[in-house]
Structure 1
Amino acid sequence: MSKFLSKEASRLAPYTPGEQPTDAQYIKLNTNESPFPPAPKVVKALSRAEVLKLNLYSDPTCGRLVEAIAKRYELQSENVITGNGSDEILAFAFRAFCGEGKGLAYADITYGFYKSQVALFGLDAKVIPLREDFTLNVDDYMDFPGTIVIANPNAPTGMTVSRVDIQRLLEADPDRVVIVDEAYVDFGAESCVPLIYRYDNLLVVQTMSKSRSLAGGRVGFALGSPELISALNRVKYSFNPYNVGRLSIVAGAAAVEDEDYFQTCTAAIRNNRKWTVRELEALGFTVLPSQANFIFAKSDKLPGGELYQKLKENGILVRWFDADRIRDYIRITIGSLEQMAALVDEIARLLEEV
């Protein structure tokens, strides 16, 4: 550790990203990316003329992108903010709505970025365990007076909370912000976007990394009341006004406008997920009910860490978390049907060797 590191920085808990190999030797099912290329409208929009504008700063308001998102979700521009991936939006939200006297509550098994941001901003946090079956019960959050963040669907489990339950949280205390992180909502879960006009304490965060094939473009956004969005912009303009690049603004707007491609890709992932679950269950796996573009599964024949390692040695990357309660599981991104068939075949072969 560097001798120049501050005490504050030494207390950080950095998020560990999934492996990103630079070669093409792996079937990559570890970071919940889309197996499909960006939409045709995105490719067309990223013209030479747009590239030649890279000598100029991007629009700090991200107007073109904001308008496209607002139209898609039947909201107004003042209900939308965009960011460099949803991680940046979450960071803005934690900075805006948490601090002295106002902590953050989140689940013990959820997206690891929340813990990292708590450490970065020095926030008080209440970590609330999921139930034994990995469900999140909103009754466990009812008495918490600060900001609440719920990944819905949750990661890495893929399990969901109903919109009705989120509504109960919103109504129980109108003076606290409830952040619903919907990074994976487009693969079958129930979005809370329809509640935005009814509850000014609801912030919905989404990303274009998964369902719109723009993980490398880094485009995230939040939807909420004008007051919440204004608070996020206050943080943004104190940190990085030009937070979304020119090409990402263009790509994001085009991706939102290519609705047919979006529907085709998300339907394919849902079908491939269903097929994969069926095949793994036939091999004796326990698979949690997922509405995301990944599944969380375990085998009684091979521990999670060993299965992860053997798959990696044979050219397939999945995600394994060396953590209490979930150590026996692996998280598997749903890719193309060909990729999933290769995974199932390799797992079947490994089980035969046990």
Structure 2
Amino acid sequence: MSKFFRANVEAMASYVPGEQPPRGTQIIKLNSNENAYPPSPAALEALKTIDGESLRRYPEPFGGQFRQAVSQVLGVPSDWVIVGNGSDEILSIVIRACAEPGRKVVYPMPTYVLYRTLTEMQAAEILEIPYQEDYSLPVAELIAADGAVTFIASPNSPSGHVVPKDDLRKLASSLSGVLVIDEAYADFADENALDVVQEYENVIVIRTLSKGYSLAGLRLGFGIANPKLLPGLFKVKDSYNIDAIACAVGTAAITDQAYKNACIAKIKASRHKLMQDLKQLGFRVWDSQTNFLLVQPPQNNTEYLYQKLKAQKILIRYFPQPGLDDKLRITVGTDEQNQILVTALSKEGL
């Protein structure tokens, strides 16, 4: 055991992201739910306008330009918005502000495993409540747990399902702590919880530009919450957590809704076709309102397929953990990429 680290840090496991091959590698990358299409031309043009003065000076500490853009696009007041270095930082800010030893962080499983990592950093108590087999939310159990923080990813990863807003309202009205609705994949879904956050002071909805806006490399996300909830979060965020480049590019991207919506429409169409193609190969495929599919091979040979595809330079996600080790998560790529995947799987004699 190292003498340098806190006992809880020494004991915890690191979060393991999807494999990131070097740029230029000829790989079909369907393992990290990145958008299959390039960012908005307006975002790329904004990148070209960054000058030396923007880099010399500290950025606006609250991402004011981007907050105004979120306000205009989503119809929420700008003082309801907190901006972060990716939505992961907003998750971390909430945990830093609200969790500590003796206070519970609660969420249904399986879900985004970073919730566990962030909670372990704070040495707070973790309570993981299993989803029902059909991924219906264990509302009564979550309410009974009454965490200082309750995380609900909707749409959820890796299942791809959306949590009904009535369930979210039941939680928000019953919990004494903060309800975090993680909407990283909301741009691909048929509904969202923006109206819920406006009804309850203990709710924060978190979004990202990594998925719907093709800006995973930019690291820009934001939260929307009642201004009564935000002061404590602002206290623990870094002083200048949003750089000038991210603010300018993100503002251009979120303002270009026409381009984003066109890309989303293509991904939804590709998602439907990929779902049908995989079903024809005998896969069980869960309905999805995201840019990925959770699937179960007919022979339950998940690790074998993961390795065989990787050898053919096709990356998908395999989770070697109970409840998921018989399933695979596949990002929806372009139609061409999806067809290469389906062809490779069909040759495995499923």
1:126-175 alpha-carbon deviations (Å, 9 max, x no partner):
110111233323232121222211011111111121111101111223x3
1:98 and 2:108 correspond: no
**SS across alignment from 2:150:** strand
1:311 is matched with 309
The one-character-per-residue Cα deviations of 1:176-217 (angstroms, maximum 9, x if unpaired) are 211100001111242111122211111101100000111000
Report the CA distance between 1:3 and its aligned residue. Answer: 5.6
Which residue pairs with 1:153 in the alignment?
A: 155
Q: Is the 8 A contact 1:13 1:115 kept in 2?
A: no
- Residue 190 of structure 1 is matched in structure 2 by 191
Query: What amino acid maps onto 1:163 in structure 2?
Result: K
How many Å apart are 1:315 and its aligned residue? 1.2
**Counterpart residue identity of residue 190, structure 1:** E
Output the CA distance in 1 between the equivalents of 2:278 and 2:318.
17
Q: How do 1:169-248 residues align onto structure 2 when only pairs under 5 Å count?
A: 169-173=171-175, 175-236=176-237, 240-248=238-246
Counterpart contact for 1:209–1:217, Cα < 8 Å? yes
Counterpart of 1:325?
A: 323
Range moving further from structure 2, 42-51 or 82-91: 42-51
- Kept after mapping to 2: 8 A contact 1:18/1:319: yes
1:250 alignment partner AA: A
Q: Per the alignment, do residues 46 and 307 of structure 1 end up closer, same or farther by CA in structure 2, a change over 3 Å counting?
A: same
Counterparts of residues 74-153 of structure 1 (less than 5 Å) = 74-146=75-147, 147-153=149-155
Taking only aligned residues, the RMSD between alpha carbons, in angstroms, comes to 1.5
The equivalences for 1:238-277 within 5 A come to 240-277=238-275
Pick from 337, 347, 350 the counterpart of residue 348 of structure 2: 350
Q: d(CA) in 1 for partners of 2:156 and 2:52?
A: 37
Q: Note the residue ranges of structure 2 that are not aligned, 5 or more in a row.
A: none
The whole-number CA distance in structure 2 between the counterparts of 1:128 and 1:341 is 37
- Runs of 4+ displaced beyond 3 Å: 1-6, 48-52
Unaligned ranges ≥5, structure 1:
none
Kept in 2: contact 1:108–1:128 (CA 8 A): yes
Query: Normalising by the residue count of structure 2, what TM-score does the alignment of the two structures yield?
Result: 0.95
Deviation at 1:301, TM superposition (A): 2.4
Q: TM-score, normalised by structure 1?
A: 0.94
Partner Cα distance (1:32, 1:73) in 2 = 23
One-letter code aligned to 1:38: P
Count of matched residue positions in the alignment of Structure 1 and Structure 2: 348
Q: Which residue of 1 aligns with 2:166?
A: 164
Q: Percent identity?
A: 36
CA contact (8 A) 2:50 2:245 kept: no
